Amino acid sequence: MTVTPLEMLIIMSFVASGIGGMLGMASGIFLVPMLTILAHLPIRTAIGLSLISVVCCSCASAPAYLEARLTNVRLALVLEVATTAGALAGVICSGLLAQSTLYFLFAAVMAVSAWQMMQPRTVEVRAQRQRMRFVQQLDGTYPDRQSGLNVSYEVSRLPLGMAMMFGAGILSALLGIGSGVLKIPAMDNALRLPIKVSSATSNFMIGVTASAGAIAYCVSGTIDLAQAAPICLGSVAGSLVGARALKAIHPNRLRLFFVLILLALAIEMTLLAVGQLRSAIAG
């Protein structure tokens, strides 16, 4: 039995989104290497398709978090000013960078993500200094299932958080990823949000950021809609299955396995980058 290119795209996006969903991440960090290494697509096409996949994952999983009152929509909107601006800067930069640079950058982000996945996430809550009235409007509460109480939290160091989000937006559009590599430290260490709130808010935000990048790629003609359609089907299905698996399986058991996969893919991407560089020098 042979697998058609269409079926292959559905399977790859399903697997990448499923793994992402299981780990509470977007699909991009797994999908881009799959599309370049297994489907032999050019990295720019893979990045554009991955951005569409990230949008699908965010749209499919965000309603559950919104209904559970875990997403801070106001904060997401304010941070989106920085991430969408970063995303558009990233799309413009992607046209200026050589393919080998994109491969190298992707491999580096994968290695950092693998390291980040092995670190325990902690949030240090400190007494707040006097804050602007606008920032106070971003504070929120979320229902804690374990205690059954509403937990209040305050948003701090918004300018630092926004600066990091601008960087996250650039990485997202440049590499077709949700860029948790920068969003997680921004949410945990700069804004000091509770982990559940930061995961839900980040999940909602990556949809808007990736959408800004995907629209730009679509308008510029980088993305073939015939390839985008199977990616959408696989991503929606994969993220829903992954989210269900997240509830059933303890993610820490899977973490080490996926860290090893990420490192293997990072090595493969580095080799591809070296190959591109060599052929560029030879040519």
Partner 1 sequence: MTQTQNARTVDLAISRLLTLGTWSATASIALGYFINMSLPRPMLGSALCWLGVVTLVMLPVASVLTMLSLYLRQRDWAFVAVSFIVLFVIFVGSLVSAITIR
Among residues 100 and 209, whose Cβ is nearest to partner 1?
209
Judged by CB under 8 A, does residue 196 bind partner 1? no
Q: Which x/- pattern, by CB under 8 A, does the window 156-195 give for partner 1? A: ----------------------------------------
Judged by CB under 8 A, does residue 33 bind partner 1? no
Structure tokens belonging to residue 156: 């701090």
Structure tokens belonging to residue 273: 């980058």
Which phi and psi angles does 141 have, rounded to 5°?
Answer: -135, 150
Cα dist from 150 to 45, 138, 196, 278, whole Å: 45, 16, 13, 58
Which phi and psi angles does 41 have, rounded to 5°?
Answer: -85, 150
Judged by CB under 8 A, does residue 60 bind partner 1? yes
Long-range contacts (CB closer than 8 Å, 24 or more residues apart) made by 193-199: 193/72, 193/75, 193/123, 193/153, 193/155, 194/123, 194/142, 194/151, 194/153, 195/121, 195/123, 196/70, 196/142, 197/70, 197/71, 197/72, 197/140, 197/142, 197/153, 198/123, 199/24, 199/65, 199/70
Among residues 191 and 216, whose Cβ is nearest to partner 1?
216
Q: Which x/- pattern, by CB under 8 A, does the window 128-147 give for partner 1? A: ------x--x--xx------
Q: What is the DSSP letter of 121?
A: P
**CB of 127 vs partner 1, minimal distance in Å:** 23
- Binds partner 1 (CB under 8 A): choice among 2, 95, 146, 147: 95
**CB of 62 vs partner 1, minimal distance in Å:** 5
Q: Within 24-121, where are the H helices?
A: 28-33, 43-67, 73-94, 99-118
Cβ pair 233, 9 in contact under 8 A: no
**CB of 131 vs partner 1, minimal distance in Å:** 14
Judged by CB under 8 A, does residue 35 bind partner 1? no
Judged by CB under 8 A, does residue 254 bind partner 1? no
- Binds partner 1 (CB under 8 A): choice among 8, 66, 123, 195: 66
Among residues 41 and 232, whose Cβ is nearest to partner 1?
232
Of residues 73-92, those binding partner 1 (CB under 8 A): 73-74, 77-78, 80-81, 84-85, 87-88, 91-92
- Mapped onto helix, strand or coil, the DSSP state of residue 178 is coil
Of residues 207-236, those binding partner 1 (CB under 8 A): 207-208, 210-212, 214-222, 225-226, 228-229, 232-233, 236
Q: What's at 136, amino acid-wise?
A: Q
Q: Which stretch binds partner 1 (CB under 8 A): 33-41, 49-57, 243-251, 265-273?
A: 49-57
Cβ pair 237, 12 in contact under 8 A: no
> Residue 253, by phi and psi: left (phi above 0), alpha (psi -120 to 50) or beta?
alpha
Judged by CB under 8 A, does residue 71 bind partner 1? yes
Chain residues in the site for partner 1 (CB under 8 A): 52, 55-56, 58-60, 62-63, 66-67, 69, 71, 73-74, 77-78, 80-81, 84-85, 87-88, 91-92, 94-95, 134, 137, 140-141, 207-208, 210-212, 214-222, 225-226, 228-229, 232-233, 236
